[in-house]
């Protein structure tokens, strides 16, 4: 196990700001291979900014970000493309291309990155679609014809299209009803075991944090205020973390996850 515990994402002294406002202030965070890390924080605490900066969608002011051992600043175009191939992203609202069907959406990254024969590409895309729990009939639908939960699943199938090593999930269960959200949590757990994924997720969902995440990073004041398991969070003395994880809902979620683990 110690061999696998290599660092796949390394964020060092990251500073990001807009105008005079500093959002992330010398933030450091390591993500280990094979773990599921959940990032929590109040609205406006910079969760999304951190995710988007790691993905290279927002410019940073200082610090360094290395993904899979490749430093974003030093990387040339080929290396950036390589990062794109080895990472999958599930955006909050799916970000499926609305002019393509579900199966075409899943095939899209394969077409761009791998020289696959069309038949094989289609077969693998269909396999991914079924692995995320959609029916084969859904593959020919357009994103506008999907429900919220199906959109998330289709977007996850696209994120997994290239068998990425790291999957970034932005609010994977937001906007889903509790049953769909739980099904999605189970799906993430299953896929992570099946495909050996490292998962980085932004979430507000205490149940997801309790049942899926190995480690939790709580952002406050532009830094990682606390890092550890659910029980570490509950015994943390940072005021925001205590409020977030000390509430009734958090205790219920933690107890629920123990009950699931026991059965």
Partner 1 sequence: MTHPPQLTTTTQGLLASGAWTAAYLAVLERITGDAGARESSGRIDVAGIVALDTFGAWLLERLRRRIGPDAEFVGVPPHFQGLFDALSKVNQPAAKAGAGNPVLRLLERIGRATESAGVDLLALVAMLGALGEALLRVLLNPRRLRLTSSVHQLDRVAWQATPIILLITFLIGCIIAQQGIFHFRKFGADDYVVDLVGILILREIGVLLVAIMVAGRSGSSYTAEIGSMKMREEIDALQTMGLNPVEVLLLPRVVALVIALPLLTFVGSMAALYGGGVVAWLYGGMSPEIFIARLKEAISLDHFKVGIIKAPFMALMIGAVACVEGLKVKGSAESLGLQTTSSVVKSIFIVIVLDGLFAIFFASIGM
Regarding 190 and contact with partner 1 (CB under 8 A), the answer is: yes
Nearest approach, Cβ of residue 197 and partner 1 (Å)? 11
Token pair, residue 39, equals 């990032």
| Nearer of residues 47 and 121 to partner 1, judged by Cβ | 121
- Binders of partner 1 among residues 91 to 130 (CB under 8 A) are 98-99, 114-117, 120, 123-124, 126-128, 130
Regarding 143 and contact with partner 1 (CB under 8 A), the answer is: yes
Q: Crossing angle of helices 102-113/148-159, nearest 10°?
A: 20
Question: CA 199 → CA 86, 114, 170, 177, 235, distances in Å?
Answer: 12, 23, 11, 22, 24
Q: Given candidates 145, 239, 243, 249, which one binds partner 1 under the rule CB under 8 A? A: 145
In 68-204, DSSP assigns E strands to 70-71, 87-90, 166-170, 198-202
Regarding 193 and contact with partner 1 (CB under 8 A), the answer is: yes
Q: Which residues of 139-175 are buried (b: 16+ CB within 10 A; e: fewer)?
A: bebebeebeebbbbbbbbbbbbbbebbbbbbbbbbbe
Regarding 178 and contact with partner 1 (CB under 8 A), the answer is: no
| Nearer of residues 39 and 96 to partner 1, judged by Cβ | 96
| Nearer of residues 58 and 195 to partner 1, judged by Cβ | 195
Nearest approach, Cβ of residue 201 and partner 1 (Å)? 20
Regarding 2 and contact with partner 1 (CB under 8 A), the answer is: no
Element spanning 14, H or E: strand 7-18
At 134 the three-state DSSP class reads: coil
Nearest approach, Cβ of residue 83 and partner 1 (Å)? 16
Token pair, residue 10, equals 């390394």
Nearest CA among 203, 169, 207 for reference residue 188:
169
Segment lying near partner 1 (by CB under 8 A), choices 38-46, 191-199, 212-220, 233-241: 191-199
Q: Given candidates 13, 26, 136, 177, which one binds partner 1 under the rule CB under 8 A? A: 136
Regarding 196 and contact with partner 1 (CB under 8 A), the answer is: yes
Nearest approach, Cβ of residue 62 and partner 1 (Å)? 35
Q: What is the DSSP string of 67-100?
A: ETTEETTT--HHHHHHHHHHEEEE-TT----TTS
Question: Which residues of this protein are in contact with partner 1, per CB under 8 A?
Answer: 98-99, 114-117, 120, 123-124, 126-128, 130-131, 136, 142-145, 160, 162-163, 190, 193-196
């Amino acid at each position: 196990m110690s061999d696998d515990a290599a660092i796949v994402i390394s964020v060092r002294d990251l500073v990001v700001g807009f105008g005079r406002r500093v959002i992330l202030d010398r933030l450091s965070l390591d993500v280990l291979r094979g773990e599921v890390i959940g990032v929590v924080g109040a609205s406006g605490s910079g969760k999304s900014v951190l995710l988007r900066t790691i993905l290279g969608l927002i410019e940073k002011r200082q610090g360094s970000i290395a993904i899979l051992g490749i430093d974003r600043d030093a990387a040339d175009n080929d290396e950036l493309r390589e990062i794109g191939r080895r990472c999958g992203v599930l955006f909050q609202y799916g970000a499926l291309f609305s002019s393509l069907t579900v199966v075409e959406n899943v095939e899209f990254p394969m077409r761009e990155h791998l020289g696959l024969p069309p038949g094989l590409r289609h077969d693998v895309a269909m396999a991914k679609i079924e692995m995320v729990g959609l029916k084969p009939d859904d593959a020919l639908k357009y994103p506008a014809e999907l429900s919220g939960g199906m959109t998330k699943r289709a977007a996850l199938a696209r994120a997994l299209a290239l068998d990425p090593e790291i999957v970034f999930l932005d609010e994977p269960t937001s906007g889903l009803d509790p049953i769909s959200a739980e099904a999605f949590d189970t799906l993430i757990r299953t896929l992570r075991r099946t495909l050996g994924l490292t998962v980085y997720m932004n979430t507000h969902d205490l149940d997801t944090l309790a049942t899926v995440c190995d480690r939790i990073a709580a952002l406050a004041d532009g830094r990682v205020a606390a890092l550890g398991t659910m029980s570490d969070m509950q015994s943390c003395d940072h005021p925001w973390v205590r409020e977030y994880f000390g509430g009734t809902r958090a205790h219920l979620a933690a107890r629920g996850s123990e009950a699931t683990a026991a059965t």
